Amino acid sequence: MSLPRTLQPRAFGALNSIGLWTLFWRCVSRFLKEAVETIGGPMVSGGLFLGVFAVAYTPGTILEGGLLPVTFVAPGIIIFALAHSAFEFGAVPLLYDKLEGMIGDIVSAPLSAGEMMLGYVLGAAVVGLIVGCAVFLTLTPFAGFSFAAPQISLLFAILTAVLFGLIGVLAGLWADRWEHYAATDTFMILPLGFLSGAFFPTTSLPDLAAMAIRLNPVFYLVDGFRYGLIGKSESNLLVGFLVLVGVITFLAWLCARLFRLGYKIKA
């Protein structure tokens, strides 16, 4: 005897869109509940960073290409805030779920490894973009952007959000306690950001140091985003784009693979 229609099990297609949306929104809603801190904090710190750089340079200083220091530095501050928020909200929700024992609900849900990965990563990426927009609106009145190619800036902002969302999720999978998350933030994310050319032109560095910085994929994120706002870059944008797509593709595969294996999320 067949079951009544109302009791039939729900059928899912190739993509469980309802489950994916639920996981995604669960991650974003955590961020929105603390919007004063999660959005207001980066806006204030971004303004303070710009103010520090404005007074650190000698009045009247002009950088290579005829740029004011604040105009050059502001895109780096925006990308740094975006990247750090995407990392934080990729790692923190996943680590919290693990430590509080709620990860079992995610693992037992009808979600594939790819859908779990997408839910956490897309949530982190959207959070990063929201923070990036907030800091962008804060700094724009003082930065003097020419908006040479805003679509390029948007593209590299999205790449930044996805890349650091993936890094955050990988950190959340690896970490067993909050100290592990803090160590990743301190010893990987901060060096990647500060040694990326976000706050200084690499053309002013010795050749060896400039070459080393170009091995950092974050350099290409900052350079592409900056080009869209001021029309000047220090590298080939196509090369940077291809490098970033390659890194993102590898990290997405690794992340999905770890979810499929149940790495540190299954007993």
pLDDT digits (tens, 9 = 90+) for 182-198: 999 999 999 999 889 88
Q: Does position 12 have pLDDT exceeding 80, yes or no? A: no
Summarize pLDDT for 58-77 with one digit per residue, the tens. 676 777 767 888 999 999 99
CA-wise closest residue to 188 among 177, 199, 175, 201:
175
- Report the pLDDT value the prediction gives residue 267, as an integer from 0 to 100: 59
Determine the average pLDDT of the residues in 250-267: 91
Instruction: Please report, to the nearest 10 degrees, the dihedral formed by the alpha carbons of residues 133, 221, 118, 183 taken in order.
Output: -90
Percent of the chain with pLDDT over 70: 94
Please give the model's pTM, rounded to 2 decimal places. 0.91
Determine the average pLDDT of the residues in 160-166: 97
Q: Does position 2 have pLDDT exceeding 60, yes or no? A: no
- With cut-offs at 50, 70 and 90, classify the pLDDT of residue 122: very high
